Amino acid sequence: MVSSSGLCWGLDIGGSFVKIGYLSDSEFVLEHCVPTGIGSNPESVLRESAEAILAIDPSPAAVGVGAAGLIDHERGLILFSPNLPRWAGTAVTGIINGYVNAPVILDNDCNAFASGAINSGEIPDMGLWLFITLGTGIGGTIINNGSIIYGTGSSGEFGHATVKEGGLPCSCGSSGCWELYAGRKALEWYYSRLTGTSLSPKEISHQASCGNPAAREAFKEFGRWFGIGLANLANCFAPRGFFIAGGLSASLKHFSISARREYISRCRHPWSLSMLENSPEAGARGAASMASRRC
């Protein structure tokens, strides 16, 4: 147990758990997990999360919170969350502050991850860079000289940029969104279409490593759509480069060739794509780093 010492805490609100931990001498310690789920009550989950912090640190310095979905980080609200629909409109910062009596900052989980990578030096603090998370959906962060750019409040929703006119309908209300063609379900569909069987991305990656032609073809198609989206972003932002993370990024070796081929056929910007190290606590660590910037 850590005595009260004014620590900076991080919460990563996911579809299954809230992961909770703190920064100590630049090291992150994951302390607790609180179950969530589609039917979870937001206030109960946030109360339990705050109590977990106070049980270890009665006087926290600040709390950072990362959550998937559309976030109003200035007002501390979750506007929309695809994994936790009951959380729409939840005043996260106000609820947690009421328990911990410390500054609380809420941001999109991709921005929280990026904040941690900026603080650790993994993302350079000079120049314009784009950070992308690849998983069930596609998240994005715009970073300029070490600072996250928000636009009018929620820039970086790269996954909902249209890549196919008249394409598949998306839960965001649009259609043909990038994450529908370069997200988890897309990879699973490409493989299923070729084989008639269903496998997880991890299993498809293993099959590709073993030389399975269908798995390799599925990743080739996935990479093509990923490259289309990257080219669109490069033409819009002309960044110095891209960083990626998230569950699907671990399979980069299987789709980088087709992604690069598509990218260079669609834009004149240099190909620069790097993968950041993934870990189960990366989101919570990033949220704690976000909080440390406010201390």
Q: Is the pTM of this model over 0.85?
A: yes
Residue 138 lies in a domain: yes
Is residue 55, in this structure, part of any structural domain at all? yes
pLDDT at 84: 85
> What is the residue range of 206's domain?
123-275
Do 35 and 134 lie in one domain? The reply is: no
Domain count, the chain: 2
Same domain for 203 and 108: no
Q: Check: CB of residue 154 under 8 Å from CB of residue 108.
A: yes
User: Does 260 lie in the same domain as 128?
Assistant: yes
Q: Would you put residue 25 in left (φ > 0), alpha (ψ -120 to 50) or beta?
A: left
pLDDT score of 200: 96
Pair 61, 163 in one domain: no
Question: Is 269 part of any domain?
Answer: yes
End-to-end CA distance of the chain: 23
pLDDT of residue 128: 98
CA distance readout (Å), 77 to 89, 116, 192: 6, 21, 38
pLDDT for position 295: 67
CATH of the domain at 25: 3.30.420.40
Instruction: Identify whether residues 225 and 154 lie together within a single domain.
Output: yes
User: Would 83 be classed as within a structural domain?
Assistant: yes
- 107 shares a domain with 16: yes
What is the token pair recorded at 273?
A: 């794509």
pLDDT one digit per residue (tens) for the chain, 295 residues: 444 468 999 999 988 889 999 998 878 999 899 998 778 899 999 999 999 999 999 999 999 999 988 899 889 999 988 778 899 999 999 999 999 999 999 999 999 999 999 988 999 999 999 999 998 889 999 999 999 999 888 888 999 999 999 999 998 889 999 999 999 999 999 999 999 999 999 999 999 999 999 999 999 999 999 999 999 999 999 999 999 998 899 999 999 999 999 999 999 999 999 999 888 888 999 999 999 987 6
106 shares a domain with 20: yes
The pLDDT of residue 2 = 47
Domain identity same for 131 and 270: yes
Write down the residue that tokens 């120049």 correspond to: 127
Please check whether residue 3 lies inside any domain of the structure. Answer: no
In this structure, are 106 and 133 located in the same domain?
no
Whether 1 is covered by a domain: the verdict is: no
Does any domain span residue 2? no
pLDDT of residue 83: 75
79 & 142 share domain = no
In a domain, 128, yes or no: yes
| Residue 291: φ, ψ to 5° | -65, -35
| Shared domain check, 103 and 148 | no
Note whether 100 and 129 are same-domain residues: no
